[in-house]
Amino acid sequence: MTQKILYFYLTLLRHGETYENKYQVIQGHLDTDLSEVGLEQARSIRMHINGSKPDVVISSDLKRAIFTAYEVTDPFVVEVESRLRERNFGSLTGHPRSEVQKFTETNSKIGYECDGWRSIGGECIHEMANRTHNFLLDLCSRLVKTNMKHADVSRHDPFPIIGPSHLQPMKKLISKNLDIFPNDNADATELPIFIYAGHVLIVGHGGWIRQFLRLLAFHSKYKENFPKNCVNSVMNNCGICQVGVAFDTNSLKSYQENGCEVSTSPLPVFGDVIHNESFTNMKKVNQCPYFRLANPSLPLMTICYQFNITKSMLEKHQVDYPTFSTQETCSQEKNISTDDGDEYAGYPPNK
C-alpha cells in the first residue's frame, strides 16, 4: 500500500481589540464587540492575510472573532465553530482581572475536583484542552476526506508564510524526516505520496490559540521551532502565528479508531512532568473528568514558522523569524514553567 502523507498550513489570528481588552475585563464567553481600534487592527493586516490566500476560514462563533475574520478576509466565506471559543470563566466572567488573580490565589490547586483552578460554572484547563484536541482531529479528518483525490503536489508547493522565513516549506521538511512516518506495509523502494491539503485560517481568542499551540508543541510526535513564549503568552490583538502540520493518513485513522495514547503527565498543558509513582497518589485527589482526555500523543509533525507577528513588525520588515535550538524551545516539557501561564490568572501581573 502506497503511503500517503498529507500536509497543510495553519494561520492562527487573534481577534482585534475590544473595550474589555482595553480595560482588562475577563470576557470568556461574553459576546463582545470590537472597538474602533480593533476594527482598524483587523483592516490594517487585511492585505497580508489575503495575500497568503487561505483556502478555508474558520472563526469562533463570538462576534469579536467573526467581525475580525470578515475584516481580514473579505470577500471569503467564514465558517463559525463554537469549539474555538475562549475559555469559559464562569462566575468570573465580566469581572476585572484583579479579581481573577485574587480568586486563583485562594483556590489554586482546588479547582472543584480538578487539579487546576476552575471558577463556578466555568471550564478547567483540561476541559478546554479536550475541545481543542477534538477540533484539531476533526479538522485533520475533514482535510483527508476533501483532499485525498488530489495528485502529488510536485510542481507547485505553496508556501503561504507571511514574510521571509529561514525554515523550508513543509514538503521539503517532510522529505528530510521520513523516518517520522514509518510504514511497515509499503515497499521499501516506493516513495510516499505527498498531498497538499491547503491553507486554513483560524480566527480565535488569545487563551484558545495558546492552548492550541500547547497541544501542538507538547503532544505532536515531532515538533520544531515552537518558542517558549508561544505556550506561556497570549498573542497581541490581531497577532499572527503560522504553523505547518503533516501526518500519515493511515496513522491518523488508526489513532482515531484506537483512541488517544495517554501520557502520565497530569498537567501537560502546564508543562509539569510528574512521574508514575507521584501520578498514582495524585489520582486519589484529582477527579477532573477531562483530566486524561487532555493528554494526547498526536501522530503529527508540526513546525512553527511565525509567532505573534504584528502590523508594526510587518511594516518594519521585522518578520524574519529565527529558528530556535531545541534548548530554547518547548520541545521538552521540563523547559516550561509549571504554572498555567494564564494571563487571566494574573500572569503576567497587572500593571
* Whole-angstrom distance, CA of residue 96 vs CA of residue 25: 4
Least confident of 13-17, 184-188, 300-304, 343-347: 343-347
Top-confidence residue, 262 or 126:
126
Same domain? 190 vs 307? yes
Same domain for 102 and 35:
no
Are 82 and 118 in the same domain? no
pLDDT band with cut points at 50, 70 and 90 for residue 67: very high
Q: Is residue 29 annotated as part of the catalytic site, yes or no? A: no
Residue 192, classed as helix, strand or coil, is: coil
Choice among 2-16, 49-63, 83-97, 147-161 with the minimum mean pLDDT: 147-161
Pair (145, 110) in one structural domain: no
Does 257 belong to an annotated binding site?
Answer: no
349 domain-assigned: no
Mean pLDDT of 28-36: 95
Query: Measured between alpha carbons, how far is 310 from 47 in angstroms, rounded to an integer?
Result: 13
Whose cell is 535550538? That residue is 325
Catalytic residue among 29, 71, 86, 224: 86
CATH of the domain at 239: 3.40.50.1240
Strand partners, 5: 194, 248
Q: Are residues 215 and 111 in the same domain?
A: no
Residues 131 and 255 in one domain: yes
pLDDT tier for residue 163 given thresholds of 50, 70 and 90? confident
Task: Establish if 208 belongs to a structural domain.
Answer: yes
Mean pLDDT (whole number) for 87-112: 75
Residue 62 has pLDDT above 90, yes or no: yes
Residue 46 vs residue 349, higher pLDDT: 46
14 labelled as ligand-binding?
yes
Q: Are 220 and 186 in the same domain?
A: yes
pLDDT digits (tens, 9 = 90+) for 186-237: 566 688 999 999 999 999 999 999 999 989 998 898 999 998 888 878 899 9
- Residue 296: predicted pLDDT: 66
Look up 36 and say whether it is catalytic. Answer: no
Position 15 pLDDT exceeds 80: yes
Give the CB-side neighbour count of residue 108, counting CA atoms within 13 A. 13
Which is higher by pLDDT, 136 or 319?
136
pTM: 0.85
| Four-point Cα dihedral 133, 135, 140, 142, nearest 10 | 160
Domain range enclosing 118: 89-122
Assess if residue 233 is contained within a domain: yes
Is there a binding annotation on residue 20? yes
Q: What is the pLDDT of residue 274?
A: 35
Banded pLDDT at 98 (limits 50, 70, 90): confident
Please check if 64 is assigned to a binding site: yes
Number of domains in the chain: 2
343 is a domain residue: no
Phi then psi for 210, rounded to 5 degrees? -60, -40
If asked whether residues 68 and 109 sit together in one domain, one would say no
Tell me if 337 is assigned to some domain: no
Same domain, yes or no: 59 and 133: yes
User: Strand runs (DSSP E) across the chain, as ranges?
Assistant: 4-14, 56-60, 78-81, 193-204, 220-224, 240-248, 298-309
Task: Write the DSSP string, 18-40.
Answer: BHHHHTTB--TT--PPB-HHHHH
If asked whether residues 197 and 221 sit together in one domain, one would say yes
**Is residue 304 included in any domain, yes or no?**
yes
pLDDT score, position 294: 54
Residues 233 and 261 in one domain: yes
152 in the same domain as 103: no
16 in Cβ contact with 34 (< 8 Å): yes
Q: Is residue 212 part of a domain?
A: yes
For residue 262, pLDDT beyond 50: no
Q: From the candidates 15, 29, 205, 219, which is the catalytic residue? A: 15
Higher per-residue confidence, 333 vs 271: 333
Summary mean pLDDT of the chain: 78
Q: Is 17 annotated as a binding residue?
A: yes
Does residue 226 form part of some domain?
A: yes
